[in-house]
Structure 1
Amino acid sequence: MNRWIEEIIEAGEGYLIEFKESLDKSFIEEVCAFANSSGGKVILGVSDRGVIKGINTDNNFRSRIQDSLRQLQPYLDVGIEVKDNLIVVGVPDGNDKPYACSRGFFIRNGANSQKLTRNEIIEFFQKEGRIRFDELKNDKAVFETDFDEKAFENFLNLTGNITATDIYQPFLDKLMENAVKEGFDDRITTVCASMDDLPFEAGEFDIIWSEGSIFVIGFEKGLSYWKQFLKDEGYIALTESTWFTDEPSSEVLQFWQDCYPDIKSIPDTEKVIMAAGYDLIDRFKLPASTWYDFYSHLEKRVDDVSDNYKGNTDAETILSFNRKEIKIFREHPDEYGYTFFILQKKTNK
């Protein structure tokens, strides 16, 4: 047995390694997950417990593997290598994410592959386009006159340690790559975890910052769950979708009932905040201009990837939703949007 294979099997399954005893329906899910993450290897002929069972390695069987790999969209060049009585399927870190298979979209979460929910797929598409309000270029800024070096230095001196969380490890890797370039990596720790299952201690943080994400688990649930991780009188800074009108048009109302029925008016959202045990320190609406910039980037991303997913029902549904979302906002920009809330944990709750 090849020593390299032996070492991998001894180490066991992990973020970059998956064992499969046979070529079953879940095989393409593992390949899809690796493609959407940091790449990895699927070793066929080894049980979940790391016991070498062996597998057919003839040409017909390898053709079956190729047939299964054709389910992956868009196309990805995946390697197939025979090692004694095992087959190693090498999946590269895909350059054209997100990838899908006939069973949906998957990412790697630790030693497991996880199917993305509808909201997670939307977020994944947007993230892969690296669409962020805080990354959009401000063409009106003039560095020589607008940049305050002293204020920037003061800000850096005030900045404490940051723990960054995401369910998708490659985004955290990219964060650290950028942090190293900027010289901030000594202040940042990353944790790959779901926002509704966080591995932190009670009272660990001074502030929790969450923009455009709490809707994934629900506003009320998120506030209630995250509160335990704040120190007494700690803060949460976050955005939440809110109505800007008491009488939204029927098209807009139906859109939000379909995608996020928990959307509320700003006063009703504030009631949820108070009931969850927080004081409201401040709030403000995000201006419509940020959404126009955001959607112009998203629209381009949707157009760029559409041809890659023709015939994939799940992907086409998501892309259609993106186009509908853009259209509705452009027609009704004053009826809804994000409101930024700054909250403080009450000490008596």
Structure 2
Amino acid sequence: MSPRTMKAIRLHEFGGPEVLRYDDVPVPEPGPGEVLVRVHAVGVNPPDWYAREGMPDVPPELKPPFSLPLIPGTDVSGVVEAVADDVEAFAAGDEVLGLLRFPASLQGAAYAEYVTAPATDLARKPAGVDHVAAAGLAMAGLTAWQFLIELGHDHPSPFQAARHQPMPLGADTTVLVNGAAGGVGHLALQLAKWRGAHVIAVASGTHEAFLRELGADEVLDYQKVRPEEVARDLDLVLDTVGGPDSRRFLRTLKRGGALYPVYFGEFDDEENEKLGVTVTATQVRSNGPQLAELARLLDAGTIRVAIDSTFPLEKAAAAHERAARGHLRGKIVLTVD
């Protein structure tokens, strides 16, 4: 008997969105500790296009193992179809969401009709949350959670020796979120508000009404002002843009403040010490229990996942083209019939 087949997006070579091919491949079998998920929706994230490009700008020692052909994708929402004999937490028919195998592998293989997933990477999807929102929550939500609320693991950061330790947030805390309209940014804004912080959102002016709906107390339009020149005495900056320009936010912090660049740049430890500030980062990791906490907040209406756009699985290349144009409002999600 021939094996069951499914549709999946695969890379046979590295390059632009055009290398994403819609293929017929065998349905995977769950191994020990895994479940088989019938996929309903897939969240699109930066690591997906890094994988598509072959991670050319990443030092070899930081690249996870991967080989071609490769099915990209890590964020999934769907229904459990089968479980390995040693899995007790889930059963066939359970609705689940997860961030799969990140950052250990770029072959999370979520761009497909079926995917196997470690049971520990999954959380139950609340009945009141649709699959599109659930798929958009995983990586972005866990990134915001692990930077702002609870790290939840002891793995060292690949970017620095110092261990990231989230600052306690409350009514006496002022937080600036740079890139506040994006996937991580709009969820981080909401989590900071949930903890009672005063939140300043930085984004283009076209997003102001959206950001205020999410709870932003102030909105800075970076196309009109330089936020590092107008913001002062901040307790915390979460820079979801990060990179070399992230140092510009050091001047906005009060002594004892902290800067968390999601995409880590170059910083001078002596300068940070002189200013009396902390600069730390981490790398998001799969975490089923934390994702369950986020799903509960989503179900309660405490946070929401904004959807920039959706594309059917076979149009994954168009989704990557949309991502490349930037200025996203929330998440891009692939839907699977």
For the superposition of Structure 1 and Structure 2, which TM-score range results when normalised by the shorter chain? under 0.3
TM-score normalised by length of structure 1: 0.26
Greater percentage in helix: 1
The structure carrying a bigger strand percent of its residues is 2
